[in-house]
Structure 1
Amino acid sequence: MSTSDQSTVLGVVVLARHGDRQGFYQDPETYTASQTAITPLGETQEFELGSVIRDLYFDPSSPSFVQGIANTSALFQQSQVAVRADAGGEGGVIFDSAVALTQGLWPPTFRASTVLANGTNVTSPLSGYQYIPIESVEPNEDVSLEGFTSCNTFDAHTTAFYNSDEFKAKNAEASQFLTSLQPYMDGRPVTLENMWNIFDYMNVQSIHNATFANTLPNGYLNQTRDLANWHEYNVFSDSAFDGIGNVAFRTMIPSVVTALQRIANSTDPLKFHYSAIAYKPFLSLFNMTGVVADGALPPAIVNYAASVVLEVRQPSSGSSPVVRFTFKNGTDDATYRTYPMRFTGWDGSSSSADAPLATFVQAFAPAGINTTLEWCNACAQTQLRGCAALYAGNGTAGASVAGVRHERISPVGAGFLGAGLTVAVFGIVAAVLVFLGLLTLGRGKRRAGKKVREESHSSTNSMTKESV
């Protein structure tokens, strides 16, 4: 394996898991999640990760300095940055992690100040705090960061795994150990199906509960982690590149691919794209990129504040841009390491670890789930997450989702569809109000328009703005 150390970094796409949090439960069949909260440890982990990324990519003295980005001596420049955070099942943990990470990337500075007309110098609060816009990605409005919930075909995939001979064999192998765990689980179900929740409970208690940590026998947490790793990788991966088991990353592909292409485009200002996510997309990403195929990277749940950085690099030879896969498994992992990717059209284990961007896009783009309507089709979902409205607006009966191939709708088309549905609903409501005498049509005083956030989405077009 070789990499071009003479290449320059044009920009990066960062995928980072949230930091340490309080206890958490998710349904082992549907992965519907409970609420939880980030801890001060989790905030610190994310801040430290942001600081590491800042030193690596924003410092002009670093060999991985991103060419043209606002460096460590400059203020945050919004045109160069896009930040997105999953606001789903773990409540505000992932969003709060994004806030902490961006604080490490762009810490307070007295340069965040202005001089008023009267000569007064005013610095932003908290000694020059830099306010970084973060797009809150709500799962019921945008499927891109959490494509696995409410997905019927993914639930069927999980059930099939639980009914497989492989699962039954592992269950028989682990049965004695699972029985030995019962005294430590505070009444929780100790089954292989529930392995994620068993591990997560033990992990959280081992970090925050000294009595539990001192009582748990040596080796129990590691054995539980191994079983959870096996369990989760099999749930969130698939033997088929575009299989539903990979849905956690397949819904992210449009935003990732678009960001890579924008970074490679010299006329586009984007240099840094960051998505704050849970652990699930990492497993699908590891499977699809083949980074676990040769055993260099284990098929395992990533640690808190783990991150993958996809670097867009320009080879010194002047040839087309390439993509480099790097990974750092949490704050205890000292540095980012490069891993060769292996997918259709590319085998980095026998050539350069840097895959041509065009080859990467050619392989991954077709597997991407580009719109909510595509997600509804892939997941055989007819009602939730806007699917009912989309099928009604598309003139398609929801009952035929699983058996009929529908025409692909572009993000722009879905946007117009969402706007059309909104206008129609508004018209019906207005008519009712007129009938009741609660609304008068005609000239009146001009009202100030409500300012709408740039990051907001239509519930019927939930994929990212970057893909439009």
Structure 2
Amino acid sequence: MRTSLQSGLLVASLAAPVVDAERVLGAYIYSRHGDRTPKVFGNTELTTLGYRQVFNSGSYYNTRYISNSSDLHIEGISNPKVVAKQISAAAPDDGVLQNSATGFLQGVYPPTSQAVNHLANGSTVEAPLDGYQIITLSATDQNADSESSTWLQGSSGCTKATVSSSSYYTSKEYLDMEASTKDFYQSLSPVLSGAFSKEDMSFKNAYTIFDYLNVGRIHNSTKPNVTDAQWIQLQSLANNQQFNLAYNSSESDSEYVRAIDGKVLAGEILDSLNQTVSSKGKFKLGVQFGSYGTFFSWFGIMGMPKASDNFTGVVEYASTFVLELVTDVSGDDFPEEKDINVRFSFHNGTASTSSKPKVYSMFGEGNDLVAWSDFVSKTKEVAITSDTQWCDICGNTDGKCASSDSTASTSSSTSSTDDSNGISRPVAGVIGAMVTLAVILGLEALFFLVGGFTVAKRRRGGPEMTSAGALADDKK
């Protein structure tokens, strides 16, 4: 009896399909900068502690994605030497964020002894700085100057987002909170008087006050005289204020204009992950840096607060979230799109092998894995993926949006005809343009002839697309 039962189990086990280990096809990492100087004094700078925080975080992701022994090793990613076409990295044009990204990338791909050239004359050249690896860091304009601005939307460039965030300051919720916390903030005068006026000690400056005291708690040997209860309240009030400035749940899914930075980020994430899918795995890893405000905005539009209240608080320095493309299909070939899933993980603060990112469900659905096709369709509902979208949602009419409006207006006006003169408007427009051009050229010729001027080529500047709808316009 036992023999027949064992035989039956053996046959059943042989008949059962073998499930291979999960394959990680690619990933996208979004990170906050490291520890920095306080915002209240302006000209914020990354501290040595901050540099160490992001470097350690990058080192963790080396063990997670680059190391060949990791269960989450990205399939086919180069190790230990970086291959430029496999990775992209970006950060806003801001010193704290750019320097943080550089430190992080040093951890992801540390110096390697393989950085050696053997020349034709028989000599050997080793790379400087013990084989330091250079990863090109692109500059985006998303949240430019964010670490020098005390207000979340101060530099977003989106007109309607600025109006939406400003309206929070006149809302009943804000006014009630400001009134109920007035005495609390005034009671902190002894520790704030060096940096804030009496009038500025209020809920309106909740985050700036919290940030100032937080830096003091980290760096000053004589810590601010604030009780644990007061500190918890300061942090809670800052979280409440900043989340409401970054995201408004009452706005429609297609609008979410207050969360403009999160919408732009959603488009950039979609673009990065799609590079992996469309290249069939040749592109491996996208890395981007930003401020806590962009975390807030993206968390809001992706429904993350439904998964945890942790997504409504200001994330700590060097916090990261990752989106991984995974499949259970075995083999060496890149899987079909229907077999690819997306998984989201988040870690508050510097990640490490002893404190790893935790998996959370997206879109409020309760599933750890989202089918790639579903992720694309749901993200497109809230993402910005073009200049036109950004201009339409923001209501901007200058810069890139001005040229877009002009083009659209011209296209609209030339679509009709004026039959009274027997000449269509497009033809009339061409004739008029030619006459005007002839007049201008004649005047220019006279101008240069009389004035003795010469023509020199000038490099063009102005807004341009970075990725998935972020407008790049150097503000510095």
Q: TM-score, normalised by structure 1?
A: 0.77
Quote the offset at 1:325 in angstroms: 0.6
Where does residue 285 of structure 2 map in the other structure? 272
Quote the offset at 1:115 in angstroms: 0.9
1:272-421 matches, cutoff 5 A: 272-295=285-308, 297-316=310-329, 319-331=338-350, 334-342=355-363, 347=365, 349=366, 352-383=367-398, 385-395=399-409
1:78 aligned partner, one-letter code: A
Residue number among 163, 188, 191 corresponding to 1:156 in the alignment: 163
Where does residue 189 of structure 2 map in the other structure? 182
SS of corresponding position for 2:175: helix
Where does residue 83 of structure 1 map in the other structure? 89
Residue number among 76, 99, 104 corresponding to 1:96 in the alignment: 99
8 Å Cα contact 1:14-1:308 kept in structure 2: yes
Where does residue 44 of structure 2 map in the other structure? 36
| Cα pair distance change 1:200/1:106, threshold 3 Å | same
| Cα pair distance change 1:214/1:173, threshold 3 Å | closer
Query: Residues of 2 paired with 1:340 and 1:152: CA distance?
Result: 32
1:216 aligned partner, one-letter code: V
Where does residue 118 of structure 1 map in the other structure? 121
Query: Residues of 2 paired with 1:64 and 1:167: CA distance?
Result: 44
| Cα pair distance change 1:360/1:329, threshold 3 Å | same
Query: Residues of 2 paired with 1:142 and 1:93: CA distance?
Result: 9
8 Å Cα contact 1:147-1:247 kept in structure 2: no
8 Å Cα contact 2:144-2:155 kept in structure 1: no
Query: Residues of 2 paired with 1:192 and 1:41: CA distance?
Result: 29
1:223 aligned partner, one-letter code: Q
SS of corresponding position for 2:88: strand
RMSD: 3.3
Structure 2 residue 28 is matched with structure 1 residue 8 = no
8 Å Cα contact 1:253-1:368 kept in structure 2: yes
| Cα pair distance change 1:292/1:245, threshold 3 Å | same
1:242-253 matches, cutoff 5 A: 242=254, 243-253=256-266
Where does residue 208 of structure 2 map in the other structure? 197
Structure 2 residue 61 is matched with structure 1 residue 61 = no
SS of corresponding position for 1:311: strand
The structure with the larger Rg is 2
Quote the offset at 1:252 in angstroms: 1.8
Quote the offset at 1:396 in angstroms: 7.1
Where does residue 109 of structure 1 map in the other structure? 112
8 Å Cα contact 1:154-1:244 kept in structure 2: yes
Q: Higher helix fraction: Structure 1 or Structure 2?
A: 2
8 Å Cα contact 1:161-1:234 kept in structure 2: yes
Structure 2 residue 452 is matched with structure 1 residue 437 = yes
Where does residue 35 of structure 2 map in the other structure? 20
8 Å Cα contact 2:116-2:125 kept in structure 1: yes
1:257-294 deviations in Å (ceiling 9; x for gaps): 12112212353511000111111111112112222214
Quote the offset at 1:228 in angstroms: 0.6
Gaps of 5+ in 2: 1-18, 147-151, 412-436, 471-476
| Cα pair distance change 1:440/1:92, threshold 3 Å | closer
8 Å Cα contact 1:142-1:463 kept in structure 2: no
Where does residue 433 of structure 2 map in the other structure? none
2:225 aligned partner, one-letter code: T
Quote the offset at 1:55 in angstroms: 0.3
Residue number among 165, 173, 186 corresponding to 1:166 in the alignment: 173
Where does residue 133 of structure 2 map in the other structure? 130
1:77 aligned partner, one-letter code: V
8 Å Cα contact 2:60-2:351 kept in structure 1: no
Quote the offset at 1:209 in angstroms: 1.9
8 Å Cα contact 2:264-2:468 kept in structure 1: no
Residue number among 219, 222, 231 corresponding to 2:241 in the alignment: 231
Quote the offset at 1:356 in angstroms: 0.8
Number of aligned residue pairs: 401
Query: Residues of 1 paired with 2:279 and 2:164: CA distance?
Result: 42
| Cα pair distance change 1:299/1:223, threshold 3 Å | same
Quote the offset at 1:60 in angstroms: 1.5
| Cα pair distance change 1:214/1:231, threshold 3 Å | closer
2:107 aligned partner, one-letter code: G
- Alignment identity in percent? 28
2:211 aligned partner, one-letter code: D
Where does residue 216 of structure 1 map in the other structure? 226
Query: Residues of 1 paired with 2:466 and 2:240: CA distance?
Result: 31
1:131-173 deviations in Å (ceiling 9; x for gaps): 1100012459999x99962322112212222222222232233
Gaps of 5+ in 1: 27-33, 398-423, 442-446, 451-456
